[in-house]
């Protein structure tokens, strides 16, 4: 059901970040959120950002014949550059034409950057079972024809599994909402309705209860009993 339309308030854009393991469905959540937001309020302007579009200088300088065997490693991405773009969008004068009302950024390592965690009004972690992520990776990469099945499994075991356990999974506690794979539809609707309410009402700020988990259609529950003192514990220099 479409909400009663009001003009979005002149305020900085609401920033939503989506993190989670490789092949966990981050882009699916991102596009579902965009679709739901526009359906609820056709006047909203939504901008999408992808960590893949912010490669590190090292990744850009690697010669084609000397590429790192793990293209999804943490060092392949420039989190500082993505943060700078989010900060630029957040601090644009509100009267600039075509300024987005909502910015949705996705990438596996987003919550490793303290600036991105802080600037995000809603930080989401897509929590997907490891077997499902592997199955999605196999289906995706086989369809692309770029890698044989043996290479897909080797990359998962040697690189993707390790990077998830070491760099991605620990950041789940820094999210505002944990979105289980089986509750994406309910979670997206919950987030979208809250964002539309905030944007049209001109609400500024955010509740910083980290680790809320969307549970089916019931809503959300406290999944992690953590305090603010834990923030930043998981970060390395990036």
Distance CA 158, CA 70 (A): 9
Residues of the chain with pLDDT under 70: 1-9, 62-69, 182, 202-238
pLDDT of residue 125: 96
pTM assigned to the model: 0.79
pLDDT of residue 130: 82
pLDDT of residue 110: 98
pLDDT of residue 227: 32
pLDDT of residue 50: 98
Both tokens of 156, joined, read: 């998962």
**Phi and psi angles of residue 170, each rounded to the nearest 5 degrees, phi first:** -65, -20
pLDDT of residue 59: 78
pLDDT of residue 221: 31
Strands 219-222 and 212-215: antiparallel
Distance CA 164, CA 170 (A): 9
Residue partners of 111: CB distance under 8 A and separation at least 6:
17, 19, 117, 123, 125, 171, 172, 174, 175
What domains, with CATH codes, occur in the chain?
14-225 (3.40.50.300)
Instruction: Output the DSSP codes for 3-56.
Output: PPP-PPPSSPPEEEEEEESTTSSHHHHHHHHHHHHHHH-TT--EEEEEGGGSB-
């Amino acid at each position: 059901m479409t909400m009663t339309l009001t003009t979005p308030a002149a305020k900085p854009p609401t920033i939503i970040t989506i993190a989670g393991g490789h092949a966990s469905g981050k882009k699916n959540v991102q596009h579902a959120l965009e679709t739901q937001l526009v359906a609820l309020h056709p006047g909203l302007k939504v901008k999408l950002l992808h960590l893949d579009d912010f490669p590190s200088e090292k990744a850009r300088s690697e010669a084609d014949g000397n590429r790192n065997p793990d293209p999804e490693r943490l060092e392949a991405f420039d989190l500082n550059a993505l943060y700078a773009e989010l900060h630029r969008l957040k601090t644009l004068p509100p009267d600039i034409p075509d300024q987005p009302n909502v910015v949705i950024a996705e990438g596996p390592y987003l919550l490793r950057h303290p600036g991105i965690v802080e600037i995000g009004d809603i930080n989401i972690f897509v929590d997907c079972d490891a077997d499902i992520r592997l199955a999605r990776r196999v289906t995706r990469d086989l369809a692309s024809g770029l890698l044989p099945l043996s290479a897909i499994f080797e990359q998962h075991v040697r690189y993707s599994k390790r990077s998830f356990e070491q760099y991605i999974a620990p950041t789940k506690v820094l999210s505002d909402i944990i979105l289980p794979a089986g509750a994406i539809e309910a979670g997206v609707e919950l987030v979208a309705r809250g964002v539309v309410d905030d944007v049209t009402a001109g609400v500024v700020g955010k509740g910083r209860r980290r680790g809320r988990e969307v549970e089916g259609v019931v809503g959300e529950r406290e999944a992690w009993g953590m305090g603010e003192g834990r923030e930043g514990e998981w970060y390395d220099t990036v």
